[in-house]
Structure 1
Amino acid sequence: MKRYTMRHAWLDLIGYAFLIGGSFILAKLCVAIVQNRMQESFSWDGLNVNAATILGVLLSLSMLAVVTRQEKKSSLWEFSGFRRIGMRQTGLFIGLGMLLSLMFGYILQLDILGQLAVSHERKVTSELTSGSILIVWMTAGVLAPLLEEIMLRGIVLRTLRHVYSLATAVVAQAILFALLHTHPFQMAYAFLLGLLFAWAALRAKSLWASVLMHIAFNSTTILIIHAIREYESAELLVGSTILAILLIGTGLFPASKKPQGKAL
């Protein structure tokens, strides 16, 4: 792999940041132009955020794929560290993501954070009601986590490891992940999640681990919370917790070895 100097590493990361930022700005402009043509009166407050996010993610991934192919001479998936993982590991990391989301939900229900928890709940509620639940899930539950993992646990972490210690690289990408979230409570737990997602990717030696864990976390937050509010049933919360524990247990339980018969 390319041997980085500290200067080259940070120049690379700044370039990737501008590329992704530019992709999202272009996506918002495209969606705004379309909405302006379709509506008699258009304001930026009425911008379709979900459409802009989906287009921004797709543009970002396309641009990253072109850059890594041209500059790094490898595909985006190879450069980011995607490696095949087994079914048991898949269940483990999905279960961990689900359980983490449910644990944060339990903490919020305890009302120990006061007004901070209330403002966070309002923010989540406004995001959930910003469009169809399926669109919100596809946007915030799948596409956004995929892009964040490729950028942070893939490109940023792997690049910083060339010039810093592993611990420094892991903490740095977690800080960057926290800064992407604007709410104070989100920033706090995003930093912790950034550390855990990095642990998952490093433990499995594959970015698929952190991608699955991140998607499971966001999807559980979106779908389970929406279902609980819609049907007002605590059984969904209990059932989801049991499912998460079973998935984790399946992933941690050692695989049985078939007894070897005697050779004839």
Structure 2
Amino acid sequence: MICKRCKRLSDDDLEYCPYCGKSFYDDSERPVDNVEKESEYFNEGVTGHNSGSNGTSDTPENDKIPINIFGGSNDRREYGFQYQPRPTSRPSIARSVFSAALYFFFYLFINILVTAVFLSSAMIDSMYDIAEEYYKKNSDVYGEWNEETFAKIYSEHSFEIITEAYKDALSSIDISLVTVVYSAATLIALIIIFAIRRKRFSAEVWLRRVKNEAILLVLPLGVSLQFLIVFILNLIPLPEKIIVEYNKLYSLLGNSSRILEIISVAIAAPIIEEVVFRGLIYTRLRRAMSAPIAAGLSAAIFALAHGQIIAVIYAFIMGLILCFLMERFRSLWAPIILHVGFNAANYLPFLHEDSSPTEIMITIAISFVIFTASAFFILRSKSESDYNEAKYTKNGSGDGSDGTAI
């Protein structure tokens, strides 16, 4: 990859230029606390470059060139060669898995905490109403209705009251509001955590600007994928019990207003899920594993987090596709856009319960054409790494040695 500032070639998997410290993907600089570490790595790479068995340089001029990791004025190509930095060592698999698990459980903790707050509030209101129903049936026994009467009834029928209150709370809780709140809470908490650690949140989750115009095709790809997956799932002979459970689970979204439901499903959920499962979990696994293995593990975690068997099936497929887009565009924006399009397609007025078989087949055929065309052009387009390298070398070769840097 060619650095925009010093025009030098570095490994594709590096975040910052080992020469000048500039990010390959945006205008940010390498964090200050990493400069000393990168400087040591840089010096080791220079002493090992073009060296003999005794570690001495074969090129006398090589030792005379001052090392400047903060600026790009010392262009080593003036001396007739292009410096290739030694690849950085990968973290251990155990450390990467631990880091990914830590972020997942943090996300789960915020989710459970916010849900518990909403459930507790709904249960308290419901418990009071249930106790009052007990009182109305036996008003001659308990006398006047007051707080002492409520406490007495609750002590006598606590198990029944709590059980009924929990069922009522589950059926009446506003899932959309809960999703919006825990999504915002998780996002804010993560930004604060990275700020305390003096790390740039956008860089940590790959929230980078995308130069590849093919990203415009990601939205129609996500919308068409929704219709195709639903069509395929309808062809699978699933037990009726599983289908009933799935419909019952997602019927809870109906407790909200339509606008809040759309914000929850099409905006809040896709953003926070991509930040956590692709931006944090996948990128941490990717540091120690190959892309296919990291994608498979993160997709499995993403699928299991959805719980219900039908959701697990399509979430795993979605997880693999989202990881592919993450690698293709080298940015979290690609999976976010696809996820938004996928979820938002639920609210498009193309299909409904009264749709005829002809309408369904036409919709599926159009979706297949859009999906195939979008996928074809995305695959034919250059990856973000190739795009960056071609842009900063005149001949587009990306090696930086025989092409003139722009």
TM-score, with structure 1 as normaliser: 0.78
1:13 aligns with 2:100: yes
Q: Which SS does the other structure have where 2:306 is aligned?
A: coil
Q: 1:63 aligns with which of 189, 206, 210?
A: 189
- Residues 177 and 194, structure 1, Cα contact 8 Å, conserved in 2: yes
- Residues 100 and 282, structure 2, Cα contact 8 Å, conserved in 1: no
1:85 aligns with 2:172: no
How far apart are 1:62 and its partner, in Å? 0.7
Greater shift, 227-236 or 168-177, is seen at 227-236
Taking the aligned partners of 2:242 and 2:304, their CA distance within structure 1 comes to 19
After superposition, the Cα gap between the structure-2 partners of 1:119 and 1:139, relative to the gap in structure 1 and judged at 3 Å, is: same
- Residues 79 and 155, structure 1, Cα contact 8 Å, conserved in 2: yes
1:106 aligns with 2:193: no
After superposition, the Cα gap between the structure-2 partners of 1:5 and 1:185, relative to the gap in structure 1 and judged at 3 Å, is: same
Q: Note the 1:77-226 alignment, pairs <5 A.
A: 77-85=202-210, 88-110=213-235, 112-113=237-238, 115=240, 118-119=243-244, 122-123=247-248, 126-220=251-345, 222-224=346-348
Q: May I ask how many residue pairs the two structures share in their alignment?
A: 252
- Residues 95 and 244, structure 1, Cα contact 8 Å, conserved in 2: no
**AA matched with 1:85:** V
Taking the aligned partners of 1:36 and 1:98, their CA distance within structure 2 comes to 38
**AA matched with 1:95:** P
How far apart are 1:93 and its partner, in Å? 0.9
Aligned counterpart, 1:259: none
After superposition, the Cα gap between the structure-2 partners of 1:87 and 1:169, relative to the gap in structure 1 and judged at 3 Å, is: closer
**AA matched with 1:131:** S
How far apart are 1:148 and its partner, in Å? 1.1
1:28 aligns with 2:152: no
Aligned counterpart, 1:229: 352
Q: Which SS does the other structure have where 1:129 is aligned?
A: helix
**AA matched with 2:174:** N
- Residues 218 and 334, structure 2, Cα contact 8 Å, conserved in 1: yes
How far apart are 1:35 and its partner, in Å? 4.9
Greater shift, 88-97 or 30-39, is seen at 30-39
- Residues 221 and 370, structure 2, Cα contact 8 Å, conserved in 1: no
**AA matched with 1:152:** F
- Residues 91 and 250, structure 1, Cα contact 8 Å, conserved in 2: no
Question: For the aligned residues, what is the CA RMSD?
Answer: 3.4
Structure 2: where are the runs of 5+ without partners? 1-14, 16-33, 35-89, 130-164, 382-406
After superposition, the Cα gap between the structure-2 partners of 1:241 and 1:121, relative to the gap in structure 1 and judged at 3 Å, is: farther
How far apart are 1:55 and its partner, in Å? 0.8
How far apart are 1:119 and its partner, in Å? 3.3
- Residues 94 and 247, structure 1, Cα contact 8 Å, conserved in 2: no
**AA matched with 1:47:** I
Greater shift, 121-130 or 48-57, is seen at 121-130
- Residues 91 and 247, structure 1, Cα contact 8 Å, conserved in 2: no
Taking the aligned partners of 2:305 and 2:338, their CA distance within structure 1 comes to 18
Q: Which SS does the other structure have where 1:228 is aligned?
A: coil
1:54 aligns with 2:177: no
Taking the aligned partners of 1:94 and 1:223, their CA distance within structure 2 comes to 15
More helix by share: 1
1:183-236 Cα offsets, whole Å, 9 max, x none, are 22221221111111100111111111111111111111x203x76337757759
How far apart are 1:157 and its partner, in Å? 1.1
What is the identity percentage for the equivalent residue pairs of Structure 1 and Structure 2?
21
How far apart are 1:17 and its partner, in Å? 2.6
Greater length-normalized contact order (CA 8 Å, ≥ 6 residues apart)? 1
Structure 1: where are the runs of 5+ without partners? 256-264
Taking the aligned partners of 2:216 and 2:364, their CA distance within structure 1 comes to 14
- Residues 95 and 247, structure 1, Cα contact 8 Å, conserved in 2: yes
**AA matched with 2:228:** M
After superposition, the Cα gap between the structure-2 partners of 1:126 and 1:204, relative to the gap in structure 1 and judged at 3 Å, is: same
After superposition, the Cα gap between the structure-2 partners of 1:88 and 1:245, relative to the gap in structure 1 and judged at 3 Å, is: farther
